[in-house]
Structure 1
Amino acid sequence: MTSSIDSSIVAKFTPTGRLRASINVGNPILARRDPATGAAGVSVDLAHAFADRLGVSLDLVVFDSAGKSVDAVTAEQADIGFFAIDPVRGAGINFTDAYVEIEGAYAVREDSPVRAIADVDVAGRTVMVGKGSAYDLYLTRELKQATLLRAPTSPAVVDTFVAEKADVAAGVRQQLEGDLKRISGLRMVPGSFMVIRQAMGLPKGRGEDAAKVLTAFVEEMKASGFVAEALKRHNIEGAAVAPPTK
């Protein structure tokens, strides 16, 4: 493997001589466990592509939660990672811009009085969400007046919403849109109630030059169609390629 990147930058990414990529398999949209390789998914594909760009071998460091993955990169036990952008995490990690966005959206019945996101959090209104999902955690914190109801899983949200006659269904935009194609009499509420912006990151101590190289790589992977193709290859319907950085 031959790298087109300056050797001094390659060295900042690979203090052990290999690229150690922290992979969180707790987010199935981006990665999952694989018996043969340890992990597979969009983030793993990006890790391999970046190792190829550097001209080095890749080691996957696999974790079952975002918190453990963040800690590994912050402590420089891994050289790159894949995380939701967060200001607290930013104390020890330099983030690229997002490569994938995961939107949380609402669906309602055609005759629902809910016309905007702001109409949802009203006393007496019920919101169906997948139990234990990121959207469940977020809405548990954010909804002050509406009542949360929980479907057994995120894919079961719309069917449970219909069966239990809830007022609003909450979940991944693409999944809700797919359900609306098979269930008549429903519509999407414009906008999103949350957007999870997934990015790559490296330890802050590796310096700004290294951070710029990683940022440029992510932008190239979005523009070239690599991320879109990876999402399709892994049959991911709950995420979209993030827009280019302006």
Structure 2
Amino acid sequence: MDPSVITAFTPTGKLRASINLGNPILVNRHPETGEPVGVSIDLAHAFAKRLGVELELVIFDTAGKSVQAVSEERADFGFFAIDPLRGEKIAFTAPYVLIEGFYLVRDDSPIKTNEEVDQSHNRVTVGKGSAYDLFLTRELKAAQIVRAPSSPAVVQTFLEQDLEVAAGVKQQLEIDAQKTTGLRLLGERFMVIRQAMGTPKRRGNAAAAALDAFVEEMKASGFVTEALRRHGIAGASVAPKG
């Protein structure tokens, strides 16, 4: 690794990874130790090893806060869904995993298809600052968006405020739906969330290119596939090359 690239990634002497605990596909708390574990954590450690530097995890409870930390250079890289708004300040790699976004409704809801969601009488709750918040803010023309404090709080907000639709990562919605009877997911995804690594654009093109090359190597080598298997993650697929 070019020494100038290592310097670009470690202005404080350590490699600071911005970690979002709001996406259970990528990060969870270990049930015994409470330490963050998951695919993102494995990739963060592997990248620090590649640079030959010490890793520091900077933990956040929402995607919005995690993105902001990298945008403001309070962290050196992070793990985010690719989005044009975030891309104004963050240089993204190609995605390393693909995750599906789904809608959830009550069993007795008249809504049967995704096309029926975007109606003026529907209120759709999303995690504030999440990938699907950004996406649906652009895409929904008639439905009202209600923002929950975080992605894990979406279904709780949906239930407490008696809203018509909840939107989020399929696996998170399924986990929450199991805790409450009378809920169902619609039959098809409304978006594919492309999870990538990213670093502040101010770190330069060489740093961005090095991070992208690292992601491609981790996919091609089977590292990402093995990490998904090791952490028991279903419903996410390794992104194709590039």
TM-score (norm 1): 0.67
**2:15 paired with 1:19:** yes
Residue 6 of structure 2: aligned partner: 10
Residue 185 of structure 1: aligned partner: none
Instruction: Work out the percentage of aligned pairs sharing the same amino acid.
Output: 56
Give the deviation of 1:244 after TM superposition.
2.5
SS in 2 for 1:222: helix
From 48, 65, 68, the counterpart of 1:68: 65
Residue 200 of structure 2: aligned partner: 203
Give the deviation of 1:37 after TM superposition.
7.2
SS in 2 for 1:16: coil
Give the deviation of 1:71 after TM superposition.
1.5
SS in 2 for 1:218: helix
TM-score (norm 2): 0.68
Give the deviation of 1:202 after TM superposition.
0.6
From 89, 94, 98, the counterpart of 2:95: 98
| Partners of 1:135 and 1:170 within 8 A in 2 | no
**Structure 2: unaligned runs, 5 residues or longer:** 105-110, 144-152, 156-164, 175-185
Give the deviation of 1:218 after TM superposition.
0.8
Q: Distance in 2 between matches of 1:105 and 1:138?
A: 14
Give the deviation of 1:206 after TM superposition.
0.5
Q: Distance in 2 between matches of 1:176 and 1:77?
A: 31
Residue 219 of structure 2: aligned partner: 222
Q: Distance in 2 between matches of 1:231 and 1:206?
A: 29
Report which of the two structures shows the higher radius of gyration computed on alpha carbons: 1
From 27, 33, 36, the counterpart of 2:29: 33
Q: Judging changes above 3 Å, is the alpha-carbon distance between structure 1 residues 56 and 104 closer, same or farther for their aligned structure 2 residues? A: same
- 1:1-246 equivalences in 2 (<5 Å): 5-34=1-30, 36=33, 38-105=35-102, 118=115, 142=140, 144=142, 189=187, 192=190, 194-237=191-234, 239-246=235-242
SS in 1 for 2:96: strand
Q: Judging changes above 3 Å, is the alpha-carbon distance between structure 1 residues 115 and 37 closer, same or farther for their aligned structure 2 residues? A: closer
Q: Distance in 1 between matches of 2:135 and 2:6?
A: 42
Q: Distance in 2 between matches of 1:138 and 1:72?
A: 17
1:89-129 CA-to-partner distances (Å, cap 9, x unmatched) read: 1121111111111113579xxxxxx998547768999x9x9
- Figure out how many residues of one structure are paired with residues of the other and give that number: 223
Residue 150 of structure 2: aligned partner: none
Q: Distance in 2 between matches of 1:14 and 1:227?
A: 24
